[in-house]
Amino acid sequence: MAAPNFIVEKDASITTITFNRPERRNCLDAGIILEFERHLHAVRDDRDCRVLIVTGAGSAFCAGADSAMFKSDAGAADQRRRMGEFGRRWPRLIGRAFDVLANLDQITIGAINGYAVGGGWSFALAFDFAIAVEAAEFWVPEVDLNVPFRGAPANVLSARLGPWRAKEAILMCRHYSASELFAMGVINRVVKPDELMPAARELALTMAAKSPDAVAASKRGINAVFFGPRQF
């Protein structure tokens, strides 16, 4: 029996979703994104859940698009066709899941255990709090794949990095370390690997003790100013 793509665990008011394709560095395809979105809908509708933690199994948080989606044995023309379909569908798929994640009333915590690439970094940008291990790396390879990086994830990345660094990240596909992003205020904390989940859990317990209505209303106010218009 195949392992599930996600492991979902609930402990009192805290839900943890783990990307569970460690052999593929938790990479994404259309089905995986839609399944992730369904899990997010379940969290959204769970009145007992106050905090969501998202992390990855193995050495990566989420390594972005599964290259198997657009590789082809049928030749260069078929590969270009697949890349074109990928470029049209991908920003919308990622954007929809990003939108659900960013707009949850619950507090969301990203426990970034390794590579956060493309769609993986997009999801990391949607969290209310992000804690990363020292070895984590972040980049968006879309432009190098001839795919635009756009929509709400690009808006948020640009707002957090500023226009010059955003162009480095998006147009040059530059890699960033967790320490660099912490220094720029893009993630909240950098920890050793064995400290990651305890730190995420400690933060989750702190936030779960607060008034959910006050948290949700305050979060909506911040997001309305910060996230800008939807483009997907």
Domains of the chain: 6-223 (3.90.226.10)
pTM of the model: 0.92
CA atoms within 13 A on the CB side of 170: 21
Identity of the amino acid at 64: G
Q: Is the pLDDT of residue 229 over 80?
A: no
Are 159 and 98 spatial neighbours (Cβ–Cβ below 8 Å)? no
State the helix-helix crossing angle for 152-161 and 163-171, rounded to 10 degrees.
Answer: 130
Q: Is the pLDDT of residue 208 over 90?
A: yes
Q: Tell me: the pLDDT tens digits for 161-194?
A: 999 999 999 999 999 999 999 999 999 999 999 9
* b/e sequence 140-175, b meaning 16+ C-beta within 10 Å: bbbeebebebbbbbbbbbbebbeeebbeebbeebee
Q: Is the pLDDT of residue 232 over 50?
A: no
Are 112 and 136 spatial neighbours (Cβ–Cβ below 8 Å)? yes
Report the phi/psi class of residue 177: left, alpha or beta, with left for phi > 0 and alpha for psi in -120 to 50.
beta
